[in-house]
Structure formats: structure tokens, C-alpha cells
Amino acid sequence: MDVLAAINNRHSVRGFKPDPVPQEILKKIVEGALRSPSASNSQPWELAVVSGTKLEEIKKAYIESIGKMPVLDISIALQYPEPWASRRAAVMAGVLEKMGVARDDKQKRMEFGQYGSKLWGAPSCIYIMIDRDFYYSNNATNHWNIFDCGLIAENIMLLATEQGLGTIPAIQPVLFADVLRKLLGLPDSKLMVMGIPIGYEDTNNAANKFRSTRESLDKVAKFYT
């Protein structure tokens, strides 16, 4: 698959088939993505590739955590200013519309949110972590760690696309970072950046009919000569 085709075919999958992804395919994807660039080749990422009964334990613990105060290691703005707020709102509105869920149907919206806690049914999840000592070093926050994690995340997703797999880069899987650390036997120093649920896309799931839009080239890029 050429790179542009992989970029265009990748989209966030919010409904997976339960079929497991062979471990050798997961290894191939993660190993390939290790060639991602990073600031000073620091390679700040640490990856936990979780499947099987361990992932089931995590999903169960997440369902039990619903309603509790999230423990997010990397903070997120609760409100966005414009024009970013409208872009954010369009995603969930678009997904729910495809699912035939009315905007005011709080019950169905809540159920879909809870489905996110179950990683949208994905049989595996790749958690991306960084070390606290590097993220907070020399009295500064090393934001480039997060940037680097974004680079490896996209490469993981493109390689997964090439393997016929669906993914979603998501914060929802790391909303309870403390729960993850406990179940994965990790020390407090491992900060959870994001999770990438991965598996075979359930193309019959209406949520997957949604495709996000992008601003046009002339709106976001200027070419100087």
C-alpha cells in the first residue's frame, strides 16, 4: 500500500469485530513503527501492547470506574475556543447521526460513551507511555515527548492500515491511568499518553460510516516562493 493510500484509508474506528489480532502482526506493526523519528533520537515512547484476558480485566475495571473522577496524566482542555470547538463538536455529532441517535437522547449517548470504556470492542490496545523523569526534567515540561508519541502513533496506525486493521488514537483508554498502571503492574513513573485500540473493523457498525472532514489546503497552508 502506498503512503497516501494508507493515510487516506486510515480513519478512527469506533466498532471492532471481536476477532483477535495475531501477536506476530502486532509485533510487526510495533517493530516497524520504532523507526519513527524523535527529538534527539530520545525515543521517549514505551509501549504496552495488551490483548486477551488482561485487556478484558482493563475493560471491566473501566466500566467499574465510570462516574469516578478521571486520572489523566496528560491534561486536556475541557473547552476549546473557536474554530476548534466546532470541529470537536462535529465529530461526535457526526458519529451519533450515523448511528441514528438523537442529540437529546442522553441514554444512548451515555451508552456510546460507555462503549468507549470497552475500547469500542477492540481485541487489543497499544498504550503509549512516557517516563515522568524525562517528561518533567530540568524544571521544564518536555512537551516534545508528546510530539514524538504522536509520530509513533501515526506510524502504528498506518502500518495497521496496511495490515487491514482498524485503529483509533484515543484519550478515553487512558482516562484512568492509575487503573492501567495497577493492572499492568507498572510504577507511578510511567505516564499514560494515549491508547490505540486496534482490531478488525466492524464495517456493519453504523458508527464506522462516519468520516471526519478536513479544512482545505488553501485555508491551512501558504506556499511562499
Ligand X SMILES: Cc1cc2nc3c(=O)[nH]c(=O)nc-3n(C[C@H](O)[C@H](O)[C@H](O)COP(=O)(O)O)c2cc1C
- As measured in angstroms, the least distance from the Cβ of 23 to ligand X is 25
Query: What distance in Å separates the CA atoms of residue 131 and residue 1, rounded to the nearest whole number?
Result: 34
3-state secondary structure of 127: strand
Q: Which of 34, 91, 102, 110 binds ligand X (CB under 6 A)?
A: 91
- Closer residue to ligand X (CB): 11 or 209: 11
- As measured in angstroms, the least distance from the Cβ of 139 to ligand X is 26
Asked if 11 interacts with ligand X (CB under 6 A), we say: yes
Asked if 152 interacts with ligand X (CB under 6 A), we say: no
Asked if 141 interacts with ligand X (CB under 6 A), we say: no
- As measured in angstroms, the least distance from the Cβ of 124 to ligand X is 17
Q: Which stretch binds ligand X (CB under 6 A): 48-56, 66-74, 162-170, 201-209?
A: 162-170
State the DSSP string of 58-118.
HHHHHHHHTTSPPB-SS---SSPPTTHHHHHHHHHHHHHHHTT--TT-HHHHHHHHHHHHT
- Closer residue to ligand X (CB): 35 or 214: 214
Asked if 212 interacts with ligand X (CB under 6 A), we say: yes
The site string for ligand X over 179-198 (x = CB under 6 A, - otherwise) reads ---------------x----
Q: Is 159 exposed, middle or buried (0-12, 13-18, 19+ CB in 10 A)?
A: buried
Asked if 174 interacts with ligand X (CB under 6 A), we say: no
User: Scanning the structure block, which residue is given the C-alpha cell 498502571?
Assistant: 181
- 34-51 b/e (C-beta count within 10 Å ≥ 16 → b): eebebeeeeebbebbbbb
Asked if 151 interacts with ligand X (CB under 6 A), we say: no
